[in-house]
């Protein structure tokens, strides 16, 4: 478990003070994949660097498994560092060393016996799918392969926490997908808690259980991925969600619909969990004798649960539309008016 309690970080830049973190309170539970998202300069790097002791908070506390890491002795710091693996956007590999040596580095530094190192590195390279690349040098590998080496190295000391600093930002979408799958396997198979920072909402949607949105050094919103994606509260969060879940009516269609001669009602209908896929629309159409025209729709998966989003035009008597909407709302379905000409 990682806890941030009132964490602030102020940098001195000449005579200027830069307040990168302004009182962060966050809890990452054991076994969770927790994502922190924010635009450039929001404070993401500063935040993650306080966990592996690359930066000390200016005030406040960071606790790992209940222990305040700012009060540790030098010996305890070394021990704690082994418990925290980290991977980076630009991999941070040693180009003059082989893949084997890069992965072995944390074990060499920990004075692990040679035969044990050999055995462990082989196991780690097998796990990341690169057992045939041990004698190569980083420059001979693709970006995705380099990140797998970074991951194998981060796992070498058997950490309970893995920190990911924009780990897929330098990779193409397909490679990103395979690295995210690997991170999910690490979380599930080894029960490693993952704290990742990113500016890509797609990464959060793909693997995170929870998300916090950082802006100007503050957490402006947090919750489960499902909650935040289906009901974002803050404008910045809404922008991030919209970047991966297009649920807006196209401008041209909106113009058409705003024509004053139009007399229909338009609603956004959000299905979650088990209500997705039920033949709700046809049932409602038959029962209330309404014409339902789906103007826009998508179904996506969030944390393993389906989430559907439809924009539907209702044509028929206003009284019947009202009854139909009440009926729809009785299920696990959220209905919100987009445009209403019937009232």
Binding string, residues 174-213; x marks residues near ligand ATP by CB under 6 A: -------------------------x--------------
When binding is defined by CB under 6 A, the residue of 18, 77, 109, 305 that contacts ligand ATP is: 18
Give the binding range for ligand ATP (CB under 6 A) out of 33-41, 103-111, 178-186, 232-240.
Answer: 33-41
Let me know: does 45 contact 197? Beta carbons within 8 Å: yes
Q: CA end-to-end span of the chain, whole Å?
A: 52
Q: What are phi and psi of 224, to 5 degrees?
A: -70, 155
Let me know: does 149 contact 130? Beta carbons within 8 Å: yes
CB of 8 to ligand ATP, least distance (A): 12
Q: What's 32's DSSP letter?
A: -
- Structure tokens given for 306: 């389906």
Kindly state whether residue 11 participates in binding ligand ATP, applying the rule CB under 6 A. Answer: yes
Kindly state whether residue 23 participates in binding ligand ATP, applying the rule CB under 6 A. Answer: no
Let me know: does 168 contact 189? Beta carbons within 8 Å: no
Q: What's 249's DSSP letter?
A: P
Helix extents (H) in 83-172: 99-109, 114-127, 143-155
Kindly state whether residue 42 participates in binding ligand ATP, applying the rule CB under 6 A. Answer: yes
Give the binding range for ligand ATP (CB under 6 A) out of 41-49, 172-180, 187-195, 232-240.
Answer: 41-49
Kindly state whether residue 16 participates in binding ligand ATP, applying the rule CB under 6 A. Answer: no
Q: What are phi and psi of 329, to 5 degrees?
A: -70, -15
Pairwise CA distance, residues 51 & 45, whole Å: 10
Kindly state whether residue 20 participates in binding ligand ATP, applying the rule CB under 6 A. Answer: yes
Give the binding range for ligand ATP (CB under 6 A) out of 44-52, 128-136, 141-149, 293-301.
Answer: 44-52
Pairwise CA distance, residues 202 & 176, whole Å: 10
CB of 175 to ligand ATP, least distance (A): 20
Residue burial 125-134, b: 16+ Cβ < 10 Å; e: rest: bebbebeebb
Kindly state whether residue 24 participates in binding ligand ATP, applying the rule CB under 6 A. Answer: no
CB of 212 to ligand ATP, least distance (A): 12
Q: Which is nearer to ligand ATP, 14 or 66 (CB)?
A: 14
CB of 39 to ligand ATP, least distance (A): 7
Kindly state whether residue 13 participates in binding ligand ATP, applying the rule CB under 6 A. Answer: yes
SS3 (DSSP) at 35? strand
CB of 76 to ligand ATP, least distance (A): 25
Give residues in contact with ligand ATP (CB under 6 A): 11, 13, 18, 20, 38, 40-46, 199
């Amino acid at each position: 478990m990682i806890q941030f309690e009132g964490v602030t970080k102020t940098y001195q830049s000449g005579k200027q003070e830069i307040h990168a973190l302004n009182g962060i309170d966050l809890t990452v539970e054991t076994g969770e994949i927790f994502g922190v998202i924010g635009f450039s300069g929001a404070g993401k790097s500063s935040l993650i660097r306080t966990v592996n002791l690359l930066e000390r908070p200016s005030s406040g506390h960071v606790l790992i498994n209940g222990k305040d890491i700012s009060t540790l002795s030098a010996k305890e710091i070394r021990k704690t560092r082994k418990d925290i693996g980290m991977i980076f956007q630009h991999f941070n590999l040693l180009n003059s060393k082989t893949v084997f040596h890069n992965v072995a580095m944390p074990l060499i530094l920990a004075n692990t016996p040679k035969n044990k190192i050999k055995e462990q590195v082989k196991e780690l390279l097998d796990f990341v799918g690169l057992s045939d690349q041990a004698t190569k040098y980083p420059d001979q590998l693709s970006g995705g392969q380099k990140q797998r080496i970074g991951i194998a190295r981060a796992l070498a000391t058997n950490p309970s926490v893995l920190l990911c600093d924009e780990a897929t930002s330098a990779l193409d979408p397909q490679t990103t997908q395979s690295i995210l799958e690997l991170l999910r396997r690490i979380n599930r198979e080894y029960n490693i808690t993952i704290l990742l920072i990113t500016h890509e909402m797609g990464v959060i949607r793909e693997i995170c259980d929870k998300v916090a949105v950082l802006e100007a050094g503050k957490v402006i919103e947090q919750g489960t991925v499902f909650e935040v994606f289906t009901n974002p509260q803050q404008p910045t969060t809404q922008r991030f969600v919209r970047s991966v879940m297009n649920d807006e009516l196209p401008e041209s269609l909106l113009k058409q619909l705003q024509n004053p001669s139009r007399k229909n009602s338009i609603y956004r209908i959000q299905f979650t969990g088990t209500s997705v896929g039920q033949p709700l629309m046809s049932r409602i159409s038959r029962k209330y004798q309404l014409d339902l025209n789906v103007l826009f729709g998508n179904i996506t998966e969030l944390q393993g649960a389906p989430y559907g989003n439809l924009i539907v035009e209702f044509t028929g008597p206003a009284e019947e539309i009202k009854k139909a909407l009440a009926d729809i709302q009785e299920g696990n379905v959220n209905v919100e008016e987009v445009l209403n000409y019937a009232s």
